[in-house]
Amino acid sequence: MDLTPTPSQTVGPYLHLGLTDARSISRIAKDGAKGERLWLTFRVLDGDGVLVPDALIELWQADSEGNYAPQESSADSTAFIGFGRLATADDGSCTFETIRPGCVPGPGETVQAPHINVSILGRGLLKRLSTRVYFAGEPANAADPVLTLVPENRRATLLAQPDPARTSNWIFHVHLRGEGETVFFDV
């Protein structure tokens, strides 16, 4: 019995048909959301280092106080939705407008560093890829219970870097395979 997937069993470049355009969400934090406003640009690269123009990125994150779901009574609840979805453009990138998340509770008595949960879908991927974006230079990274599980020489693949050309912008490269492959988690 051959268990090799056939072309009909792989995800094609069909994400744009139902999940992007009208259902795209690039603004996770609108005007009035509490916290440090930032723009996070993703660049998705394949195993050969070529930019991927038809990937789909979904984000889930906590607000600036470390809460995933805004409280119903909060005035901030309509300004911060905590979820975003964008397809990469022809240049393999997409940009979300959001706020820097706060620390969230971790397992036991631990605290997780500010991070954003990420899913990547795309052509040739049979399952979504799950990873996290942490922020370079964040002091809480050193004690994050998830980040410290990652071998030290691979942790940099989970760090967004500040964009030297634009204040409040961060860049995160997703390497699907090969040299510098991003760490992906089984969830």
Residue with tokens 């005007």: 31
Q: In this structure, are residues 173 and 136 in contact, taking their beta carbons and an 8 Å threshold? A: no
| pLDDT score recorded for residue 129 | 96
Residue with tokens 């470390």: 66
| pLDDT score recorded for residue 69 | 66
Lowest mean per-residue pLDDT among 18-32, 75-89, 96-110, 151-165: 18-32
CATH code for the structural domain at 9-175: 2.60.130.10
pTM as predicted: 0.87
Buried b (16+ CB within 10 A) or exposed e, 75-100: ebeebbbbebbbbbeeebbbebbbbb
β pairing state of 37-45 and 93-99: antiparallel
Q: In this structure, are residues 113 and 141 in contact, taking their beta carbons and an 8 Å threshold? A: yes
For residue 7, pLDDT over 50 is answered with no
| pLDDT score recorded for residue 33 | 93
With bands split at pLDDT 50, 70 and 90, how would you rate the model's confidence at 54? confident
Q: In this structure, are residues 169 and 43 in contact, taking their beta carbons and an 8 Å threshold? A: no
Q: How far is CA 137 from the centre of its chain?
A: 18
